[in-house]
Amino acid sequence: MKRKILLPTDFSKNAWRAIVYALELFKKDHCNFYILHAFSLQGYSIESLIAMEPGSEAYETAKLDAQNDLAKVSDMLAFKDYDNPKHHFEYLCTFGNVVEVIKNVVEEKDIDMIILGTKGKSASKTKLLGSVAIDVMEKVRNCPVLGVPETAQHHLPKEIVFPTSYKTHYKKRELQFLIDIAKTSDAAIRIIHMTTEDKLSDKQQSNKNLLEEYIQDIPHTYHILSHTNIPTATNCFVESRGSDMVAFINKKHIFFGSILTHPLVKEIGHDTKVPLLVMHDLRN
């Protein structure tokens, strides 16, 4: 069965590098890649946008510009002699708010995963994650999201860091893309547990046993970091080992918020070099 991968683009350098990363990550898999651009009309009032309809001069001009830019992406793939018979591309150009457009495409196309750049054209150079990337990771919760920094190395990950409190009852379908990426890349998973307690509770131990059951066929190790918070511990671990990716379960408004709103978040990704795989607690 083909994977369905959504690749949103704003035609920035980071968006292009995220596309290239996705093609490398899934080079062995049969995939349908949907390269999506959500266009809007700049400089118009809310009243004008409400009245804007297909057929109007401004709408059709913006749409044509977006379609031309998508054609350039196709040309860039051809120019770099990209020819993988396992990969098929479809180009989508849709008017609307980027997050809402992505939500709709995920639903309509039954998308398996979203891969996007963590910064767009207008993103601040002092922040790891742009506002669009954060919104997609927070609000699009029915498939995993992989955020790729502009400086990410385009090679398969060999070590994936998975921070956890063991307080989440894991489900295999929530972790499936982490498992698949690790197997495809022949990567090891490093589970790090931040704790202030001497031992796990019965519930935590049960959750750890369940995690072990799911990843037993993948090289993995367990690490305990005491008396520190998740962002700091993750940052230190990634930097000290030169890890290639960070993955975690996005437990809405709790775990996710503590990661992405923390001042140290830009250092978690090893100076913005490490892709961030956000999976979702499907019960939220």
Q: Tens digits of per-residue pLDDT, 134-171? A: 888 888 888 999 999 887 777 889 999 998 889 888 88
How confident is residue 226, by pLDDT bands cut at 50, 70 and 90?
confident
Each residue of 16-46: pLDDT tens digit? 999 999 999 999 999 999 999 998 876 555 5
Q: What value does the mean pLDDT of the chain take? A: 83
CA-wise closest residue to 5 among 76, 86, 71: 86
Q: What is the pLDDT of residues 103-124, one digit of tens each?
A: 999 999 999 999 999 875 655 5
62-81 confidence digits (pLDDT tens): 889 999 999 999 999 988 76
- Rounded distance, CA 224 to CA 246, Å? 16
Asked if 114 and 140 touch (Cβ cutoff 8 Å), the reply is yes
Quote the DSSP letter at residue 178: H
Q: Which letter, b or e, does each residue of 197-230 get, where b requires 16 or more Cβ atoms within 10 Å of its Cβ?
A: eeebeeebeebbebbeebbeeeebeeeebeeeeb
Q: State the pTM of this model.
A: 0.87
Question: What amino acid occupies position 54?
Answer: P
Rounded distance, CA 175 to CA 184, Å? 14
Q: Do domains 3-148 and 159-280 have the same CATH topology?
A: yes
Q: Is the dihedral of CA 281, 115, 133, 229 positive or negative?
A: positive
**What integer pLDDT is reported at residue 61 of this predicted model?**
86
For residue 6, what are the β-bridge partners?
Answer: 34, 114
CA 17 vs CA 20, 66, 224, 279: distances in Å: 5, 19, 34, 21
Cα–chain center distance at 158: 17
**What sign results for the dihedral spanned by CA atoms 246, 249, 252, 255?**
negative
| CATH number of the domain located at residue range(s) 159-280 in this protein | 3.40.50.620
Residues 6+ apart with CB under 8 A from 164: 191, 192, 193, 211, 248, 249
Q: How far is CA 246 from the centre of its chain?
A: 10
Question: Could you give the CA distance from residue 170 to residue 220 in angstroms, rounded to a whole number?
Answer: 17
Instruction: Please report which confidence band the pLDDT of residue 235 belongs to, taking 50, 70 and 90 as the band edges.
Output: confident
Q: What is the pLDDT of residue 52?
A: 66
CATH number of 3-148: 3.40.50.620
Sketch the domain layout of the chain as residue ranges: 3-148, 159-280
